[in-house]
Amino acid sequence: METDFATTWQNIYILNIRNVGSSFIGNKNAVETAISNFVQRYNFTVNTISTYAALRTFLQNPPRNIIFANTHGEIMPVPRGRNWRNYYRDLGKMVRDFGWILVNVGGYPFYYQRPGIAVGQDGLNTFLSVVNYSANCMNVTATTFTEDGRNVLRRGNMTALPQTIGVDRCARWTGVTQKIDFMRNNVLYGASAVRIGRGWFIHLGLSSALGRQNPTQAQLNSGDTLQGNLGTAFALYIADRL
């Protein structure tokens, strides 16, 4: 039984813009720490993008075959002066053409361009439009880890987790030609990866509360770390297959 990840990939870029908040993630710095700690086991070079200036520089010469992880949850920050629709479409093209694995570790992906400024369902669908996919993630249900999901848990040494977890932003995918399911309830996917050209997009629709009604602060902190760990483990599982 495999208990580890093996990949030739070496670079992860973590998006954590200073002074920009998060949604469905309580502490984005805790998520960043979880992601960083996880990938450093596999000798990844960790690159944190913490300013809009650094983000613009990064996007001017996008690297190939990287993991790009967003710590802002439902917010995908848009650089000032950029139209959100063009920017989200450009990100989709980078995943498609440069072989990125883009990871959204909490909530409804691309729902806000900035804190409190929603673009709604159009945000994710604009990103997905580069391969003619669409999705609706406004679905709440308890989901169970699939065979692939359990495999990820074993490899990441996370087997103490419950097999069923409440997910607030499950995806219902439309038009997807290649998909890997990690957490699922019938046609609703709590965590899944969809192929976008040469790359992949990973959606993890959890919140820090992990479906709990009245979580304690300690439980929320634990949820943030778990979201970072799961999103990263799913990304390494995909990279291991490429």
Q: Is 3 inside a domain boundary?
A: no
pLDDT of res. 2:
54
- Please, which residues have CB within 8 angstroms of residue 107's CB and are 6 or more apart in sequence? 23, 24, 25, 73, 74, 168, 169, 205, 206, 207
Within its chain, how far is the Cα of 143 from the centroid?
17
Q: Decide if pLDDT at 1 tops 50.
A: no
Q: Kindly report the CATH number assigned to the domain that includes residue 208.
A: 3.40.50
Domain extent, residue 151, equals 11-241
| pLDDT tens column, 112-123 | 999 999 999 999
Say if 129 falls within a structural domain.
Answer: yes
Instruction: Please tell me the distance from the alpha carbon of residue 25 to that of residue 227, in angstroms, as a whole number.
Output: 8
Q: Is residue 2 part of a domain?
A: no
Residue 108: inside a domain: yes
Number of domains into which the chain is organized: 1
**Would you state the pLDDT for residue 241?**
82
Q: At 105, list the tokens.
A: 């570790």
Task: Supply 65's token pair.
Answer: 């075959």
List CB contacts of 137: < 8 A, sequence separation 6 or more: 108, 109, 121, 124, 169, 170, 171, 172, 203, 205
What is the mean predicted confidence (pLDDT) over 212-233? 93
Asked if the structure places residue 184 within a domain, the reply is: yes
Alpha helices in 67-188 (DSSP H): 84-98, 121-128, 147-155
For the cut 90, the answer to whether the pLDDT of residue 237 exceeds it is: yes
The mean pLDDT value for 163-172 works out to 95
pLDDT recorded at residue 3: 58
| pLDDT computed for residue 180 by the predictor | 98
Mean pLDDT, rounded, of the chain: 95
Buried b (16+ CB within 10 A) or exposed e, 126-144: bbbebbebebbbebebebe
Any domain includes 124: yes
Mark 36-53 as b/e (b = at least 16 C-beta within 10 Å).
bebbeebebeeebbeebe
In a domain, 168, yes or no: yes
Contact 209, 197 (CB under 8 A): no
pLDDT tens per residue across span 41-87: 999 999 999 999 999 999 999 999 999 999 999 999 999 899 999 99
Residue 234 pLDDT more than 60?
A: yes
Positive or negative, the CA dihedral 5, 72, 98, 188 is positive
Q: Judge whether 215 lies within some domain.
A: yes
